[in-house]
Structure formats: structure tokens, C-alpha cells
Amino acid sequence: MRVKRFIFSVRGAPVLALAACVAVLASPAAFCSEQAKSKGRVRGHYVRIVGSSYVGTGDGGVGELRAIQRRCVEDKKFMKRPHVASPTLAWPKARTSVQWETYYTRTRTMTISSAERYVVRHSDCDLAVQTIHELLLESGAGRCTVDLTEKTATGHCDVDAHRRATSPVRVDIDQRHIPKGAEKTILGINCIPYIGRLRTVCVGTPRSDFRIPNGPFSRLAPGLLLEERGAYMNADAVAVELDREFHDDLFTIPQGLKHRPFPPVNRPESGAVGQ
């Protein structure tokens, strides 16, 4: 079966969901060469989610951003300093936007995420964009977080250990004490809302040949993370593909990163979603 590529773009830095030749790396050649050695295949599920923050403002925080830019212009005029009266970039629909893709398999998950935040540049009052690109590899061996912008790896980042892991990404919590909402359907998949103090996540449980691991940001229930509603961010699944075949090399990380230790992922957790 031919593996399908999913591509999403962040201003100036496209990110391939197949994780090959990550464009934000200064020297991706070694990473691409290393990945080319792997010929293995794994089966699993794919979910792509997009969202934005500043949801409580009703305008994605753009009104506040405009106000900051106006105050900057007024200050520059008063001090007779160089500035731009109107931004050279178009005003965004939301001050901060996020998107991530997660690949779920029997024992591992890989999440490729990006965030884009608009800010006012104090030097000239123009708009600027700050971007973050990350990878999150999880299995029974632990969790590895890679900041592709800062070129750092945090946690348990032995790719071979993740490949050898026999236990899935799972945190065992007594779900009887977690408030739940009415079951609903998202992109043809039934999902159960889990209600927390700061956010609600909807976890899908489609028919699967394996027990679906916990999602990257949903520790309280195994399944596909399909929706998030909260005080700080709203996010929705825009694509789901079940029972797909992936390259095993998707579950690797770039070489040459600065490594920092991190506690293991499979430790007891408690509390509601959003803690």
C-alpha cells in the first residue's frame, strides 16, 4: 500500500507529516539519509487537528493585537521615531493558531505539531510571526519531545527503545470519577467528551485491530483525540484516516540535537483534564 503524505505549511517553513527532510532544520541531509535506511512498515490511525487560542475574546485575540499595534504607533509618533502606520502583513484570523498530526499505532504515537503566533514588533510597530515546531514520540519506553526550532530533545529519546517497546502509551486512571458529556460523532467517529476544570476533550473510539493508545494531550482515556474546548484554546479534527500503513521511519527524530533529561511518561497521574 502506498503511504499517503500529508503536508501542512507554516509561514516560511513547510513541515512534512511523513517527517522526512524536516525543512526547519539547518542541515536536514543527515536526518533524511538516516531515515532512508528504514524499510519497515507499521499499521495505525492518523488524525490531523487545527485550532486557535484566545477563544474567550470572541475574535481570536486579534482585537487586542490591533490595540497593541495602535498604541505602538501613537508612541512612535509622539517620540518621532520611525514606524509603520499599517502592518505589512495581513491581519490574521486568530492571534495564535496551532495544528498537529498524530500517528497512532499499537505501541507508539508520533505527533508533529506547529504553532504560529502574531506579535507587534516594538522596533517599528509592524507585525511579526513567531513559530514553534515540535515532535512528540511516545511509547511504553517513555516520552521524547523535540523542539525543531531550538534543536533540543527532552526526555526518553532512544528511538530503538521506542521501537522495541511492547506496552502502549497508557496511563491507567479510574475513569469512573471523570465527568463525561453526551457521546457525539465527529468525522463519522463516535467520541466521548471528558470534562475537566479548564477544558473538555472528545476522545474517539473507532473499531480498531489494536487498543488505541492515549492521545498526545489526552491522558485520561485511550483513543483518538478529536476535539478540544477550553478557556485557552479550541481545536477540531479536520482529517481522520483509520487502518493506514506508515513507514516505520516516521517514528524517529533528527540527529545532532541537544538532549535534556525528563521524567518517564508512565508514572501515576491524577486529577481532571486540563490540570
The confidence score (pLDDT) of residue 109 equals 92
Tell me what the pLDDT averaged over the chain comes to: 79
Tens of pLDDT, residue by residue over 81-135, are 999 999 999 999 889 999 999 999 998 999 999 999 999 999 999 999 999 999 9
The Cβ-side half-sphere exposure at 152, using a 13 Å CA radius, reads 7
% of the chain with per-residue pLDDT over 70 = 74
Q: What was the pLDDT predicted at 166?
A: 83
Q: Give tens-digit pLDDT for 131-147.
A: 999 999 999 888 899 99
67: phi then psi, degrees, rounded to nearest 5: -65, -40
Share of the chain above pLDDT 90, in %: 51
| Residues in a beta bridge with 127 | 120
CA distances from 168 to 7, 106, 146 (A): 27, 6, 20
- Residue that is written with C-alpha cell 499499537 in the block: 106
Strands 224-230 and 199-204: antiparallel
Q: Which of 109, 102, 85 is nearest to 238 (CA)?
A: 102
Is the CB of residue 161 less than 8 Å from the CB of residue 38?
A: no
Q: What is the pLDDT of residue 91?
A: 94
| Alpha-carbon gap, residue 250 to 262, rounded angstroms | 22
Residue 134: predicted pLDDT: 95
Over residues 254-271, the pLDDT tens digits come to 989 998 865 554 443 333
Other CB atoms closer than 10 Å to residue 136's CB: what's the count?
18
User: φ and ψ at 39, to 5 degrees?
Assistant: -115, 5
149-160 burial code (b ≥16 CB/10 A, e <16): eeeebbbbbebe
Whether the per-residue pLDDT at 18 is higher than 80: the answer is no
- In this predicted structure, what is the pLDDT of residue 119? 95
Q: What sign does the CA torsion over 25, 26, 27, 29 have?
A: positive
pLDDT digits (tens, 9 = 90+) for 53-84: 876 667 888 999 999 999 999 999 999 999 99
Residue 232 has pLDDT above 90, yes or no: no
